[in-house]
Structure 1
């Protein structure tokens, strides 16, 4: 059974007082959710390194790498808005695709057909086993929000959690203003 609020293309916002340092104030793009589990990528934790510094023989490309999550941190993933150009891409939500043929990706980057504003790279991913994410949602660890491609490609990562929370409206507008450091409250 697929639970309400947990589906491909949603944003999972960590509740404001989550203590887990991997997910504190994180905005996670959920790319896959099914009976076997869930996979997503933290959109707002830059690692301050470029993809061409991380992968040998990658074309020169001024694109920052993000911490996607604590699972398999020896892997690289990418989310982009050029799904029609990149074979084997998986549709996530309007304007957002996941993965695709890596050799063709390098060719498209070398040919300047993909620019840094078209793609985000992630080290590792966020993963949940069967039923785990639903349990965490029921405990109130996460708030589900609709995804907009602009969150990934045009927003300032350090402000993303607040932006998405604020855009939900109602009580979430107030939650978005809760200071990260409890002593400021």
Structure 2
């Protein structure tokens, strides 16, 4: 088997050709990608469910909008916390530590939060927090096949993607900031038949 180059921390942006309703116009942050498979969360699918309705203790730390996001079609009854921890707290400063207790770095300042930990343990360290129900998962080689089929664009993530105040517009915003022909894809109509 050929070696898989890790895409952990990168974004998968659905191409207009991807018509699976679970992923149409989605932006997925890859939390893990190796020869065993891939795992990520959809960043732009807010639900009407408030964080306080399911994780009352974490509600005050959740960024706007303070709702649970549908992270993907797998394990919708489980929750993942994703947080940005600014500079020195993330271990990016001169000390270069591992970041705060209860937070595991995924990429740069972005990391997973242990939702079983007491929120007050992390409250002073977190820049932003978002809660996801479920996740997107791919078995070994499955994501690579989808990439070969042209289902996804792979682009760099930015810490602000996790906490976008306008998540519904994230697909267009991520494409628009690309310095290539991908920026033009942002203008692709929702329904090409109406063009």
TM-score, structure 2 length as denominator?
0.82
Q: 2:162 is matched with which residue?
A: 152
Q: 1:32 is matched with which residue?
A: 32
Alignment partner for residue 73 of structure 2, among 57, 70, 74? 70
Q: C-alpha displacement at 1:59, in angstroms?
A: 5.2
Q: Which runs of 4+ in 1 moved over 6 A?
A: none
Work out whether 1:94 is the aligned partner of 2:108. yes
* Ranges in structure 1 where 5+ consecutive residues have no aligned partner: none
| Cα distance in 2 for residues equivalent to 1:101 and 1:150 | 21
Q: Is the 8 A contact 1:86 1:101 kept in 2?
A: no
| Cα distance in 1 for residues equivalent to 2:145 and 2:181 | 23
Distance change in 2, residues 1:171/1:85 (3 Å): same
| Cα distance in 2 for residues equivalent to 1:93 and 1:162 | 23
| Cα distance in 1 for residues equivalent to 2:58 and 2:158 | 29
Q: C-alpha displacement at 1:145, in angstroms?
A: 0.4
| Cα distance in 2 for residues equivalent to 1:170 and 1:103 | 42
Describe how 1:11-26 pairs up with structure 2 within 5 A.
11-26=11-26
Q: C-alpha displacement at 1:175, in angstroms?
A: 0.7
Q: 2:4 is matched with which residue?
A: 2
Q: What CA deviation, in whole Å up to 9, does each residue of 1:90-114 have, x standing for no partner?
A: 212222111336223x2347xx536
Q: C-alpha displacement at 1:60, in angstroms?
A: 4.7
Alignment partner for residue 107 of structure 1, among 108, 120, 123? 120
TM-score, structure 1 length as denominator?
0.86
Distance change in 2, residues 1:35/1:164 (3 Å): same
Q: C-alpha displacement at 1:168, in angstroms?
A: 1.7
CA RMSD of aligned residues (A): 2.0
